[in-house]
Copies of this chain bind each other. A is one copy, B any other.
Amino acid sequence: MASAVVLLSGGLDSATVLALARAQGFACHCLSFDYGQRHQIELAAAERVARAAGATSHRVAHVDLRAFGGSALTADLAVPKDRSDQAMGEDIPVTYVPARNTIFLSFALGLAEVTESRAIFFGANAVDYSGYPDCRPAFVEAFEQLANLATRMGVTAAGPAERVRIHAPLLHLSKGQIVREGTRLGVDFALTWSCYDPVPAPGRAGAHGPWAACGRCDSCALRRRGFAEAGVTDPTGYAG
């Protein structure tokens, strides 16, 4: 069985990507990152999602993005709430982590080399994340180019079939289409976590323990809209 490395955040998108890779017959080595994000809940969600999908392995790499500051996801800035569509579409959001996808794909590449995986899957999306430079098709293509020059298996590839490929199957899908695709593949979205700013919810049971999604950050807003667009019931427990 061919193997793949799958970047798995524990969110809705990467859970769908993992399901797609599994449906294509790949043995999947999942990789998550502990980069000092506020929401360690994500990592627990990633572990559950990996297990539910029958992943071959799941690793968490600790990386030190806090040294750079510059983002609401890693520094002590306020997560924006209740933003209009226009505000969400404008500029590069404060939740942007400098070079994050480049760093994450680089680690994926290292793991790909060690596990002899010629496929790397990740959930970049150019529709809802148009403000992030590293979620664009040209970025994905440039990384694939790099991957084949940076690695033993890339430089020794005998032909196109042996080249490293970066799969970004969600690149051109709307959030609603992603929810429909995940639903078709049997993803249990109740296991996934999207919120940037979890709210304590004492006594709440379920996959995420006593935590509720805020319901108001950009990530919650996109998630809610995705389920609404898809006409699929959202299993998320929102606080507001």
Q: Which residues of A contact B (CB under 8 A)?
A: 59-65, 67-70, 92, 96-103, 105-107, 109-111, 113-114, 133-134, 136, 138-139, 142-143, 145-147, 149-152, 154-155
Contacts and interface: CB of A to CB of B under 8 A. Distances in A.
A112 to B, nearest CB: 8
B98 A114 contact: yes
Q: Is the interface of A mostly helix, strand, loop or mixed?
A: helix
A111 to B, nearest CB: 6
B99 A68 contact: no
Quickly give the copy total for this chain: 2
Contacts of A106: 99, 102-103, 105-106
A70 B143 CA distance: 22
Nearest to A97: B110
B150 A111 contact: no
A103 B106 CA distance: 5
B150 A146 contact: no
A146 to B, nearest CB: 4
Given A102-B106, A145-B145, A133 B151 contact: yes
Nearest to A105: B106
A101 B146 contact: no
A113 B133 CA distance: 12
A15 B61 CA distance: 29
Contacts of A65: 110
